[in-house]
Structure 1
Amino acid sequence: MTDPTPPAGHRSHDPHEIENLCAAGTQTYARALRAGRITRQDAAPAPCLLDFGLLRPDPGDPGRLLPAAPAVVLPQLMRAIEDDIARHRRREATLAELFEPFMELGTPDAAAADGPDGSGTTVLHGLRTINHAIGEAMAHAVGELLTVQPGGARPSGALAAARPREQAMLGRGARMRTLYQHTARHSAPVVAHYEQLRGDVEVRTLSEVTERLVVIDRAVAFIPAAKDRTVALRVHHPALVGYFVTTFERLWRLATPMWPTPARRTTPHGVPARQYEIAELLVEGHTDAEIALRLAMNVRTVRVHIAKLASTLGSDSRAQLGYLIGRSGLLEPGVGSSPRP
C-alpha cells in the first residue's frame, strides 16, 4: 500500500502546467532518471512530478519513487494535445455550420462587401461556407476567372464539384485561366477536367506558385487564411484585388502552357526539367522533404530524381553532387527550365 500523505513541501509548491516544469522538478526528475529511482524525501521539493506522473511509487519499496520513461510520457502528452486540437476543430466546424444560415440575414450589401471593419475583407469559416461564397460570386461572373492551384493534382471529387459552375460561367462568355504546378501536367483527372470544359479556357504551369488564389471578374478575390484552408478571406478592396491580379499576370507570363496547347519543357545539357528544378533547390541547401513540399511531389520521387541527377553528373555523394551541379554550368544565369510563351 502506498503512502497517501503528500511529500513535505507539497502545500507550498506553486501550481503550474507540465510545459512550465519548475526548476526543482527538472532537477529532481533528471536525478531520478540517472539513478533509476529516488527517495520520497529527495523528491519532496517537487511534488508536481507525482501530479504529472513523471514519478510513481515503487511497489517494492514504499519509501522510493520510480521515474517514468520520457519516451513513454512524451507521446502520451502529445496525444492529449492532439485530442484537444481535434475537439476545437469539431467545435469550429459545428459553429460554422450553425451560423451559416444567418450569414446572409440582416446584412446590407454594402456592409457585406466592405467587411464589418471597413477593410474590404470578410472572414469565411468552414469549407461549406467558403465554397458557397465562391459559387455565388461565380454565378454572376461574366468577365474572367483567375485561379492559382498549388499542390499538383486535385481530388477528382473537387474537380467534379467545380465543373458545373465553371461551365455555366464559360457559357456566359467569361474567360478562365488557371495556374498549376508542373506535377499537374501528369495528373489524368486534371487533364480530363479541362477536356470536358467548353469555352475560353487556358492552363499553364510553374515549378512553384503562390498559395491558392481565386479572382472573379477582377472585383472579388478569395485567399486562404489557415493552413488547412478551413478559413478564408473574401477580398473586395480594389487595391488588394488589383495586387492579386498583377501577381497572377506576372506568374502567367513566366509559366509554361499546358492547355489547350501544351508546350514541351526543356533544359540544356539533356537534363530533364524536373531534375533541373530539383538541382536549383539542392544547391540552395534544401532537404529532400523541403524540395518535395515546394515542388508538390512526394519525397520518394524527389530521391529518385536526385539519384538520376547524381548518375548523370557522376556524383558519389550529396555534397559532391552540389559541387558538380555548380561546375557543370547547369544553373548559370539566363538558363531556364521552361520555354517562355
Structure 2
Amino acid sequence: MVYQEIGDNVIGVEDTLSAENVAVYRWLALHGQLDPVRISEETGLDEAVVSGAVGHLLRIGLVQRGEAGDGRLRAVDPARVAAVATAPMERAIAQQQARLHVLRDQFSQLAADYEEGRHSVATDVERIPGLTQVRDALTRAAANCREDMVTVQPGGTRPPEVLQDALHRDSQMLARGVRMRTLYHHTARFNGPSQAYVARMSALGGEYRTAHQLAGRLIIFDRELAFMTDHDNRSGAVVVREPSVVQYLYEVFEQTWSQAQPFSDAAADGLEAVAKDLDRTILRLLATGLKDETIARRLGMSLRTTRKHISDMMQALGAESRFQAGVAVGTGGLLDDDGNGDGDGEADASASTGRA
C-alpha cells in the first residue's frame, strides 16, 4: 500500500483530527511501523479508513516517512508539528479579528452619525420591530437617564428572568440618584418573584405601587423619551420623543400613581380586602359593558381567571346574563360608594362566591 504526502502541512478547519485519525496515530506511535491489517484488526477500522487516516496524518505532518527510503512510516512529536500545522489557522483568525475590529469601528461611527442626525432632524415617533432591539434601546436609554424614570408594567407577574435582567440595570440607575417609580397590577402582589424584586429594589430607593386597572405598558425617561408597546407588533415598541405627547403620558402616569396603593404582600393586607376590592372593580367594568378580554387585560389577569371571577359573581347576583347582572348591580347599589366602603350587597356577593 502506497501513501503520498499532500502539500506542505497546511491544516484547515476541516482537518481537525477524527477519532479514526487519533486511533491510527496512536497505533503507529506505539508500534513504530505501519501494518494496515493489524491496525484494522486491533482498532476495528476498515482498511480503507486506515488508509485515509494515514494519508491525512501524512498531510498535516503527524506522520513522516523514514529516512532510509524503505517506505516505513513513523509518528512525529505532536508538539513539534503543532506550531507549523496550526499557523495558517491562527493567521486566518488574526485576519478575521482585524476585520471584526474594523467592522465594529465602522458601525460605531455609523451610530454616532445616526445619533447626530436624529437630533438634527426631529424624529418624534419611531418604531422598533424586535424584542432584542427593544431591550438594547431600553438599556441605552436607562444608561443615559439622569433624573427620573416611571414605568407601567401591566400583568400580574413578570418572568423571573426578566426581573433578574432588570435588577442590574435598575440598581445602577438608583445608585446614580435617578428616581424610579413603577406601577403594577394588584395581582402582582400575589407573585413571589415580583415581591422579592420589589423588596430588594425598594431597599435601594425604588418606589412601587399597584392598581386594579392599567391602560398599557409604558416607560418614560426624564420626561423626554417614552416607550410604549407597538399595537401592531406586540414584540416591538413605539418610541415617542414629541415633548407634548411625552408630557401628556407622564401626567397620565402621575394621575394613576396618585390613586394607586403601595406595593405589598396581599396576605399582609388581608386576602378578604384584596378580593372584595377586585370584585368591586370587576362589577364596575361589567356595568360599562366591556368584554371579558378587555377586562382581563385591564386587570392583568388571564382570560380564564377573569371569566371564572365573572361567572362566580353572576351566580352570586342570581343573574343569568350580563344584562341581568347590570340591573342587579344598579338596583342593589353595589357601586354607590364608588369603592370607598364595603356595601352590604357587595359583601354578600363576595361571600356567596366563596372567595376570601
Deviation of 1:316 after TM superposition, in Å, equals 4.8
Q: Deviations over 1:132-180 (max 9, x none)?
A: 1111111132312100111221111111111100001111121110111
Deviation of 1:279 after TM superposition, in Å, equals 1.0
2:190/2:265 contact within 8 Å kept: no
**Structure-2 change in CA distance of 1:216 and 1:275 (3 Å):** same
**Structure-2 change in CA distance of 1:326 and 1:288 (3 Å):** same
More helix per residue:
2
Partner Cα distance (2:325, 2:292) in 1:
14
Deviation of 1:215 after TM superposition, in Å, equals 0.9
Alignment pair present for 1:235 and 2:259: no
Deviation of 1:248 after TM superposition, in Å, equals 0.8
Partner Cα distance (1:228, 1:103) in 2:
30
Please show how residues 210-289 of structure 1 align to structure 2 within 5 Å: 210-258=215-263, 264=269, 272-289=276-293
2:149/2:180 contact within 8 Å kept: yes
Deviation of 1:285 after TM superposition, in Å, equals 2.6
Partner Cα distance (1:310, 1:103) in 2:
62
Please show how residues 64-103 of structure 1 align to structure 2 within 5 Å: none
Runs of 4+ with deviation above 4 angstroms: 101-104, 259-268
**Structure-2 change in CA distance of 1:208 and 1:103 (3 Å):** farther
**Structure-2 change in CA distance of 1:237 and 1:293 (3 Å):** closer
Partner Cα distance (1:251, 1:223) in 2:
16
**Structure-2 change in CA distance of 1:236 and 1:300 (3 Å):** closer
Alignment pair present for 1:175 and 2:179: yes
1:202/1:259 contact within 8 Å kept: no
**Structure-2 change in CA distance of 1:146 and 1:260 (3 Å):** farther
1:113/1:121 contact within 8 Å kept: no
Aligned to 2:320: 317
Aligned to 1:13: none
Cα RMSD between the aligned structures? 3.2
Deviation of 1:325 after TM superposition, in Å, equals 1.5
2:190/2:266 contact within 8 Å kept: no
Deviation of 1:265 after TM superposition, in Å, equals 8.7
The number of equivalent residue pairs is 234
Aligned residues with identical type, % of pairs: 32
Partner Cα distance (1:200, 1:245) in 2:
20
1:202/1:260 contact within 8 Å kept: no
Task: Give ranges in structure 2 of 5+ residues lacking alignment.
Answer: 1-106, 343-356
Aligned to 1:109: 115
2:287/2:326 contact within 8 Å kept: yes
Partner Cα distance (1:261, 1:281) in 2:
22
Partner Cα distance (2:167, 2:140) in 1:
14
1:112/1:122 contact within 8 Å kept: no
Letter of the 1:303 partner, please give it: R
Q: Deviations over 1:294-339 (max 9, x none)?
A: 32222332233234434544x152343332221111112644589x
Whichever of the two has the greater Rg, that structure is: 2
Deviation of 1:245 after TM superposition, in Å, equals 1.1
Letter of the 1:309 partner, please give it: M
Aligned to 2:4: none
Is the deviation greater in 157-166 or in 320-329?
A: 320-329
2:208/2:262 contact within 8 Å kept: yes
Aligned to 1:294: 298
SS in 1 for 2:263: strand
**Structure-2 change in CA distance of 1:257 and 1:323 (3 Å):** same
